Structure 1
Amino acid sequence: MVPPDLGGPPTHIHSREDELFTRVQGRVEVELDGTRHVLGQSDSLLMPRGVPHVFRNPFDEEARVIAVVSPPGWRTATERCPSCHPGAT
């Protein structure tokens, strides 16, 4: 779930993982290597490893996406990154 008016994480790169977003509901904006994409009904976007990207929901409705990361391990890596979590110190 991506809440309305969410600014999203800072632009970032995954050094070992590819990430695939598939939009299920609403719209979500993804900036991939400086190019803006708005994912609408049934759209998908592959964010290859090593390519700068960020996602956000500047729209007034909730969005839902399915994010697939390959190979596994990304969640573990982000849990080790305090700055990746709101309110972390």
Structure 2
Amino acid sequence: MALSPHHTLGAAPAAQKKPFVVRHADARAAEHYHMMGFDLYLKVSGKDTDGQLAMFSGAYRKHDGPPLHVHYEQDEEFYITEGEFLVQVGEEKFTLRVGDLIFLPRNIPHAFLTLSDTGRMVFMTHPSAGTEMLFKQLAALPPTATLDDAQKIHVANGCRILGPKLTAG
């Protein structure tokens, strides 16, 4: 008798999933977020993975990047597909280029800055937790929103802003 992969790994069987394709400039379920000047595209939702991970693609311009922040319940990975980025994790800084990947453990503050004229990265958060809601709520903020408004959204979604954006200097 053959066992499904779920039984082999000791996990509970999940509902049967179907494969899907999300094209380069598209987003899963039309979830495209424009926030802090850059664009994020949801590629794989937590709904697709039973909350195990969410995957996004980001398109950035020179000097784009989020402020220093921390995720309390999620690990992240950034995989660079175009351009060059400066990434700070804790006190360490790394310059990443096409093909580089960095693992960002939960509970360690991090930020990134786009060094090249344009850049793209694919990033994953796992478990998926509140990442999709965080981005959706941040994208809905009006241009007059304050840092306190953004902080409330971060805290409600399991993370916190800890400092300013990185600078190239």
Length-normalised TM-score, structure 1: 0.82
Bigger proportion of residues as helix: 2
The yes-or-no answer on 1:4 pairing with 2:4 is no
Structure 1 unaligned segments of length 5 or more: list them.
Answer: none
2:101 aligns with one of 44, 48, 63: 44
Structure 2 unaligned segments of length 5 or more: list them.
Answer: 1-58, 146-169
Give the corresponding residue for 2:70: 13
Q: Kindly report the root-mean-square deviation, in angstroms, between the aligned alpha carbons of the 2 structures.
A: 2.0
Percent identity over paired residues: 24
Give the corresponding residue for 2:119: 63
Q: Structure 1 residues 30 and 88, CA, compared in 2 at 3 Å: closer, same or farther? A: farther
* Aligned positions, number: 85
- Output the CA distance in 2 between the equivalents of 1:9 and 1:47: 14
Q: Kindly provide the CA deviation profile for residues 5-56 of structure 1, in whole angstroms up to 9, marking residues without a partner as x.
A: 22x2211100001010000011111101111111112100011100010011
Structure with greater contact order relative to length (CA < 8 Å, sep ≥ 6)? 1
Larger Rg: 2
Length-normalised TM-score, structure 2: 0.45
